[in-house]
Structure 1
Amino acid sequence: MAANNAKQEKSRQVFSNNLSSRCECDEQAPYCRNCKYRRVNCSFLSQWSQTPSFKPPTHSRLQPCQPSNETQQNSFLPSGLSTISPPTTCAHNRSPLLQQLELMHHYATTSFACFSDYEAYRSVWQITVPQEAQSYPFLMHIILAISALHICHLRDSDHRKGSYKELARAHYHDAVVAFRSTVSQITRSNSSAVFAFSHLTIYFAFGSSKFSVNNGRMEDPIGELLDVLLLLRTAMEALRSSWDSLVDGPLAMLLQRGPTITDRRYLPLDIAEGLELMEQFYHSLPLTRDAHATPHETYQVAIQQLWDSFVMAETKRKDWSMALRFPIIFSEQTLLSWKRRDPIGLVLLAHFCVLLCRAPARWWADGWAEQVIDAVSRSLDERWRHAIAWPMKIIGMNLQDSDLNSANGNSFH
């Protein structure tokens, strides 16, 4: 009984900085297990009618929150990603307090493991990050958002799936609002919370493809991936100025990467051959004189960076930071070529998706690489499509299938 009481007290302390009301017993309603067993009045009942201060919005339509004048300097979140999709209804018929306890319990027992590529990272994501969240509501909300999204994924065939989807949207929206209203700049004190927030926001952006009405099929996989990569680049650029603070902070373990290795001899033969074919195809193309085209040198540098990223991903223990290294280091011109859907740029994008395929399997990344490569194949004509034969093979697709699929869609010529 003493051990049980200690666990209850620890659970209450986690939310003490984020909730205005506090339960004096177990969290089940209308009576907690202990009070029901002892046949005493449950103190939770006296607080049942109180309005919690930490409540998901119930608006029928929420507009993206714009930063105030005080926070205009904060460009961490691109305006296009201020909300994934506005929440529409209040999920569940239970109190927000019980919802939050359920989501935090799920995060601390299950969801955190999805971000722990190494055993040494587990305590950071399971314990340290929630501790940081006690002082930063934006971090607490994004933790609850991704926990709800994970439950939604696990209960794919459950009739209650929609309610968790709404919870995920609501907490994500609250996370963005809280971040933009409280973080005007990254400081030594908030850098660790912002770092964790950036990671979870990126994972949530990947996982939000689950919100698609087409059973997880995205309408524009290329455009949606570019949105996530833009968020990633913006976040990493903002955090660079606070790197010294992060190295000395509680999340320093997540920054340890080891030496940079870029020797191509370390690559498996199939990867080396696939990248060599891409490079040979690129060098076989005539130089363009179009003033609006991406410079030849830009693609040369990007191809070299992609080679290096593959080597890094293969020579180190596999994790998602290595898989997402390439989008952080390539130039703005490369990103623009992807936005314009330039054929050469799309060929490069398809090969980058092979990195995503080879990264550790994660629920929030399910289907992304396959959908983007398929979308690229549909966007290119036959001449260009042969240049992505290797990425297509990786996802189990051949050129004949692609030719049939693209016959019903548009392609670049």
Structure 2
Amino acid sequence: MQLKPRKRKAHTKSRAGCIACKHQHTKCDEGRPRCGRCERLDIDCVLGPPPSSASSSRQTASGPPSQELASPTRPHVAEPLHLLDLELLHNYSFDTYATFLGKGLDHDVFRTKLVQLGFKHTYVLHALLAISALHMHYKDAARTFLPTTAAEHFDSALHLAQSTMGHVTEEDAIAMFFFSSTTAVYALAKDYSNPYSHLTSASDPVDDFVLYFNLTRGVHTIVRHHWPFLEHSWIGPLFKDQASVASPAGPASDYPRVLELQELLQACEGDLRETYAHALNRWLAYMAVLETTAEAEIHLLLVWPIEVDAEYLTLLSCRDPFALIILAHYAVLISLRPNAWWAAGWPVKILDAIIRSLDPEWYCFVEWPRAKIHHHDLSLFGDQVPSIDVEMVN
């Protein structure tokens, strides 16, 4: 019996596959906006160059030159623009970036260089767009889809950044620093981006703040091995500004409110006293700056959580009364900068939760923060403070 030669299965040869498939010598299904393989691997899908050469030259060789000039090769059609993302980037570049600035900080760092960094490290760009979406929602609560848009961008940022977190190199350090910083801001802003909301979140505000503090401290943890490099890079002024904030030079008697807290310190012992004293001293330093200068200095709100001892966060998680009192004073820092939109609503929310957690014997130590946050014009230097109504709390 004579065997018939096997016929090869007919197929259409294509040179229009994406670059990733060509590099792996894999047949591309040419799906758009991403082919099946790129969609499955969640990687960028970029079209290869149009077919060159020989076939097109053979095809046009017999035609007249005028016809060749009149019928140029049609370019690939550009993918649809994501107009919302462009709007978010525009909002960040012309508005959102300025809400994080303070005295002496270069606008170009946040407005231009950070965006350029995002084009190189996509997770930074996604994080910026997430923050911008929440800021737009803060300004226009009627655009109810924006928190979802923010969550989608932040999830993308987190997914892309995870592969870098475990082994941050010097090349990644600046990008990871900003990503970690925006993560802390996002944690506060995501549920409270609407200034007109009634703050009905079911989560506990104290636990939320402990999470926020840990995220903020994570900025230093993730890039700690590259801190000297960061200090001498183009973001160095951020750290110099922080280091220049010293404790007030005046005697403690100049600050009657602080004297009240120092009396509490006398009852503490050993490491516990040192933990509380350090948190109070750093709070007082930033309080003095924010109360006495008209410049924004908003970024300083993110610094205090980094500087407190880890033991303080443990005490705060356990609802230690003194730790809660110190947190109430930190809430005053936030209230001094109402243009810190990403923390809108938090001072009142956190103060109410603290008062509910304290026994009445501690109320006298949070009366000043309560009055300050509720916009009574009281300073560190005294004035009569309205007392807390125990029946209203209970």
For residues 104 and 304 of structure 1, do their structure 2 counterparts lie closer, same or farther at Cα, with a shift above 3 Å needed? closer
For residues 211 and 323 of structure 1, do their structure 2 counterparts lie closer, same or farther at Cα, with a shift above 3 Å needed? closer
Please state if 1:207 is matched with 2:194: no
Q: Distance in 2 between matches of 1:264 and 1:209?
A: 39
Contact 1:294/1:333 (<8 A) preserved: no
Match of 1:240 in 2: 224
Please state if 1:105 is matched with 2:93: no
Q: Distance in 1 between matches of 2:290 and 2:312?
A: 21
Q: How many residues align?
A: 313
Q: For 2:364, which of 367, 383, 386 is the aligned residue? A: 386
Q: Deviations over 1:76-120 (max 9, x none)?
A: xxxxxxxxxxxxxxxxxxx67222222112211221111222464
Counterparts in 2 of 1:120-135, with a 5 A limit?
120-135=105-120
Deviation at 1:364, TM superposition (A): 0.8
Please state if 1:405 is matched with 2:392: yes
What's the Cα RMSD here?
3.3
For residues 168 and 330 of structure 1, do their structure 2 counterparts lie closer, same or farther at Cα, with a shift above 3 Å needed? same
Match of 2:28 in 1: none
Q: For 1:229, which of 208, 213, 222 is the aligned residue? A: 213
Unmatched segments (≥5 aa) in structure 1: 1-17, 23-42, 49-94, 408-413
Match of 1:145 in 2: 130
Counterparts in 2 of 1:358-377, with a 5 A limit?
358-359=336-337, 361-377=339-355
Match of 1:278 in 2: 261
Contact 2:199/2:349 (<8 A) preserved: no
Q: Distance in 1 between matches of 2:299 and 2:90?
A: 26
Please state if 1:255 is matched with 2:239: yes
What secondary structure does 2:102 align onto? coil
For residues 99 and 267 of structure 1, do their structure 2 counterparts lie closer, same or farther at Cα, with a shift above 3 Å needed? farther
For residues 281 and 179 of structure 1, do their structure 2 counterparts lie closer, same or farther at Cα, with a shift above 3 Å needed? same
Q: Distance in 2 between matches of 1:311 and 1:119?
A: 17
Deviation at 1:282, TM superposition (A): 4.1
Contact 1:146/1:204 (<8 A) preserved: yes
Q: For 2:272, which of 295, 319, 325 is the aligned residue? A: 295
Unmatched segments (≥5 aa) in structure 2: 1-42, 48-73, 377-384
Counterparts in 2 of 1:13-412, with a 5 A limit?
46-47=77-78, 97-118=82-103, 120-156=105-141, 158=142, 161-210=143-192, 215-219=198-202, 220-257=204-241, 259-265=244-250, 272-283=255-266, 285=267, 295-311=272-288, 313=290, 318-359=296-337, 361-396=339-374, 402-407=389-394
For residues 173 and 376 of structure 1, do their structure 2 counterparts lie closer, same or farther at Cα, with a shift above 3 Å needed? same
What secondary structure does 2:190 align onto? helix
Q: Distance in 2 between matches of 1:200 and 1:267?
A: 36
Contact 1:142/1:197 (<8 A) preserved: yes
Name which of structure 1's ranges 242-251 and 165-174 shifts more when overlaid on structure 2.
Answer: 242-251
Name which of structure 1's ranges 103-112 and 335-344 shifts more when overlaid on structure 2.
Answer: 103-112
Deviation at 1:322, TM superposition (A): 2.7
Give the aligned residue type for 2:344.
Answer: D
Deviation at 1:240, TM superposition (A): 2.9
Q: Distance in 2 between matches of 1:296 and 1:234?
A: 25
Q: Deviations over 1:134-192 (max 9, x none)?
A: 11111011011111111111111x2xx22111100100111111110234322211111
Contact 1:202/1:231 (<8 A) preserved: yes
Q: Which has the larger radius of gyration?
A: 2
Give the aligned residue type for 1:392.
Answer: R
TM-score (norm 2): 0.70
What secondary structure does 1:254 align onto? helix
